[in-house]
Amino acid sequence: MGKINKKFEYIYDDLRIKIENRTFLPEDKLPSESELIEQYGVSRYMARKALEQLETDGLICRFQGKGCFVRTLAAPMPYISNSRQILLIASRAEHFYFLKSINGIEQALQDTGYTLTIKLSNYNPKAEASLLKEAFQNDYAGILLFPSDSAHIYTNQFLYRYIEANRIPCIFMGNRIPFLNIPSVITDDYMGGKLAAEYLIRKGHTSFVSIMNSEEYSGCMRYAGFTEALNYSSAPVTFESVLWFSHNEKESIFSADDSRILELAKKTTSFFCFNDSAAVNLYQLLTQSGCRVPEDISIIGFDDSYLCETNPVKLTSLHQDPTHIGYTAARNLLRIIDDPSFEGSMVFQPYLVERDSVCSILP
């Protein structure tokens, strides 16, 4: 029975996503039962069940003798809520970025009559999905969301589309997700990556390694900006000059048992890290192995957090202000609640704060 359910869910999810991402447009005809049987390798019962569920969900219309067609949806009704509660779904609470963001949100909500409810996804897309489904069943005035797997744009796409379709006041924080009309309040991560590369180039560096988070869209954009600046300068960029890590790997990748970083350190003079936490872990690994920072290896972080000042060698880092991001996101969400036509997005520009972790190797 479990295998049957999985086959049904696969067909249903695949067709639903194609409707939501407009591969199938309103009034387009869907494949027939026979075509679905051939395409997905399933029984007629499974194909019919998937189409029936799409019809039940209001996504398609079935016409006897003609087939199934994507339904033309009416304009969504305005979202109406009598709640004075704002829901924040954060990835984790103990990280300084989220703590400062929460501080900014609370400042923005002060004396407005709105209260903040905080729930944690712990970077788990399934946990985020459960929290969003729970939120849809409750009466929240609006949602502030740190998306948990923003680099993979189809993670929880159906739930994000539900937010769009029902015009639920919502703002993404820290990361945006392409192809969605949900506003976001973020740092210009692409520009941050460019600034890091340009600074290293000015210091005479010609070999580069970046260590980036593979699960966050911000990591992809920081790397994209970094490599663009290198390409325009004709600096050498090779495949091994990036090392991606997931949230589950953020400890093990900096372990002496994992030789990848130390091998890369033999080929480069500089590292650009996803954030200051990664930069500190890198510093500890390199110095324990006998490398000197910045004499042998230069390091740039991202965040301009307290870690930059507490590290034995103070870290050069890209500045972003999570308190201001939280404040702006909350204020913009309140404006959307009052005026659904308000766009709500904001992009803040980072800037480089120079400290002691990068040295010049100019002749």
Q: Which domains does the chain have, with CATH numbers?
A: 2-70 (1.10.10.10), 85-187+322-349 (3.40.50.2300), 189-320 (3.40.50.2300)
pLDDT at 178: 81
In this structure, what are the phi and psi dihedrals at residue 129, rounded to the nearest 5 degrees? -60, -45
Q: Are 333 and 190 in contact (CB under 8 A)?
A: no
6 pLDDT higher than 70:
no
Which residue from 45, 58, 50 is spatially nearest to 14, judged by alpha carbons?
A: 50
How confident is the prediction for the chain on average, in pLDDT? 90
Strand-pair category, 170-173 with 351-353: unpaired
Q: Are 109 and 115 in contact (CB under 8 A)?
A: yes
pLDDT at 77: 60
Q: Tens digit of pLDDT for each residue in 15-36? A: 888 887 778 887 788 999 899 9
302 pLDDT higher than 70:
yes
Query: What is the rounded radius of gyration, in angstroms, for the C-alpha atoms of the chain?
Result: 24
**Bridge partners of 210?**
242, 272
DSSP labels, 240-307: GGEEEE-GGGTTGGGSTT--HHHHHHTT-SEEEESSHHHHHHHHHHHHHTT--TTTT-EEEEEE--TH
SS3 call for 175: coil
DSSP 8-state assignment for residue 209: E
d(CA 312, CA 200): 21
Helices and strands, number each (H, E), in the chain: 12, 14
Q: Model's pTM, two decimal places?
A: 0.79
239 pLDDT higher than 60:
no
228 pLDDT higher than 70:
yes
Q: Which residues, in sequence order, are CB contacts of 299 under 8 Å at separation 6+?
A: 270, 271, 273, 279, 282, 283, 286, 293, 315, 316, 357, 358
